[in-house]
Structures are given as structure tokens and as C-alpha cells.
Amino acid sequence: MSTIPYNKKNVIVLPQTNQLRGLYSIIRDQSTKRGDFVFYSDRIIRLLVEEGLNQLPVEETTIKCYGDHEYQGAKFLGKICGVSIVRAGESMEQGLRDCCRSVRIGKILIQRDEETAMPKLYYEKLPEDISERYVFLLDPMLATGGSAMMAVEVLLSRGVRMDRILFLNILAAPEGIEAFHASYPDVKIITGGVDEKLDENKYIVPGLGDFGDRYYCV
Ligand code: PRP
Ligand code: URA
Ligand code: MG
């Protein structure tokens, strides 16, 4: 299968260029070793971060160039921060740092129960002024959507505006996108691909296995 096209407001699927399909072919391959898995995942993460930045509002500005020539440019409006859903989401922090110098990063530790796939919240540590920021929520996998929805609840409880959350995600299942989007229609989901379905263990099919294990352990 190839990725499922999505035509929903606030669901942004990266253009399925040959380059992107090539990157996914490497990280999906079960024989890919950890070094390559990390390297090529990082390249996809960078593309997701760049697309997230594309979505931020700008104001028009006029620049004086050399020779006093004028350039009609754009200036970013607003402040951002990152929030990763530990563990796998931490893999996306460096990609954000590479684009946004000294960006603040918060953490929410949510783990899916291995038997039931239900998420459990263990810990959160977020920037004090998070309610004034655009938040790049980072988690590579959107399966049932339970973990991401729990993380959004934490952000909303801290005063973050729903329309200022951008959820960056490497791979999603249709079930997860539907559930997430129905609950939080104003959150922008930026994903690199939408797969076919979930299996009986709530893993994405065809998917890429356990992202956290492949990035950090195996
Ligand atoms: C994985 C993944 C997401 C979550 C997605 O994390 O990183 O956080 O599952 O599943 P969901 O959409 O059904 O909630 P997991 O809890 O397995 O731990 P990890 O991040 O430590 O790998
Ligand atoms: N977490 C993963 O790492 N992969 C899946 O397919 C689902 C949840
Ligand atoms: Mg996780």
C-alpha cells in the first residue's frame, strides 16, 4: 500500500515525493539496522519540523539590503516551544533544536500499557509560560491516538490554545487520526504518512514496528 490521502482541515500529510518514499522505505524495512534507522528517521523529522514552521503566522516586513535596496520579507510572529512525549518523542527534539536555536522543550511521560494499549500519564515538566507559546508536540507514532490525546489534555489544562498546538508525527493510523481530529479539530496534525489500519495489538500496519525500540535499543 501507499499512504492514504487525507483531505481534512488541519491534517497535513507531507507530499509523497520520491525522496520521502525512499526515506520511508528504509525505516520501514525490518532489516534496517539502528544506525540507518536513526539517520533516516532524523531526516524525516527535519522535514516535519520545517513543515511545522511553514504553518506559523508571519507579519510582513521591509528589509534594507546592501545598497539600500528594499526587500519585502516576512518575520515570524509569536514564540514557540517543543513538548516531547517520552520516550519515542524525544527522538524529535534535536530536529527542532536544529531549526530553532535555544528552543525551550518540555516533556510529558506517557506510556502505553503493553497489554491494553491504554495510555498512562506519569510525569510532566513544561515551560512556565507555555500558555503564551505555539507548541510543537512531538511523537513519531499515532496509533490509537490515546497518548497524543492525553498529552493535548495536559497542554490545554496549562492554558495552551488548541489552535496553537502542532502535532508532528512520522506515521499515523487512520483510527488514530480520526479519534484525535474529532476531539481536537483545531490542532494541526503534521504527519509523514497515514497507514492502512491497526493490528490486534494496536500496532500500525504496515507500520515500522516499535519506533522507540528501533531508535534507542535494538
Ligand atoms: C508509543 C509511541 C506513542 C504511542 C502511540 O509509545 O511512541 O507514544 O505508543 O500509541 P497510541 O496512539 O495508541 O497511544 P510507547 O508508550 O509504546 O512508549 P515509547 O515511547 O517509550 O516507545
Ligand atoms: N508504537 C509504536 O512504536 N509503533 C506502533 O505501531 C504503535 C505504537
Ligand atoms: Mg511513546
**What are the cell numbers at 109?**
511521560
Residue 129 C-alpha to ligand 3 middle, in angstroms?
A: 24
ipTM of predicted assembly, 2 dp: 0.97
Angle at CA of residue 148, ends 144 and 161, nearest 5°: 140
Fold of 11-216: Rossmann fold (3.40.50)
- What number does the ligand 2 atom closest to the CA of 143 have? 7
Rounded distance, CA 73 to CA 62, Å? 6
Known catalytic membership, residue 116: yes
Q: Furthest-apart CA pair in the chain: how many Å?
A: 66
Mutate to test the pocket of ligand 1, among 114, 137, 147, 150 (most ligand atoms within 8 A of CB): 147
Known catalytic membership, residue 163: no
Question: pLDDT (tens digit, 9 = 90+) per residue, 107-162?
Answer: 999 999 989 999 999 999 999 999 999 999 999 999 999 999 999 999 999 999 99
Pocket of ligand 2 (CB under 6 A): 141, 143, 203-204, 207, 210-212
* Strand ranges, E, within the chain: 11-13, 58-64, 70-76, 79-86, 104-112, 119-125, 133-138, 141-142, 165-169, 171-172, 188-191, 197-198, 204-205
Question: pLDDT (tens digit, 9 = 90+) per residue, 139-152?
Answer: 999 999 999 999 99
- Kindly state the percentage of the chain with pLDDT values over 90: 94
**Residue owning the nearest CA to atom 3 of ligand 2:** 210
Residue 157 C-alpha to ligand 3 middle, in angstroms?
A: 20
**What are the cell numbers at 102?**
535555544
The residues spanned by each domain of the chain are 11-216
**Residue owning the nearest CA to atom 3 of ligand 1:** 141
Known catalytic membership, residue 62: no
193, with CB counted inside 10 A (0-12, 13-18, 19+), is buried
Exposure string of 171-189, with b = 16+ CB inside 10 Å and e = fewer, is bbbbbbbebbbeebeebbb
Nearest CA-CA partner of 152 in 4, 10, 8: 10
Known catalytic membership, residue 213: yes
Q: What is the DSSP letter of 16?
A: -
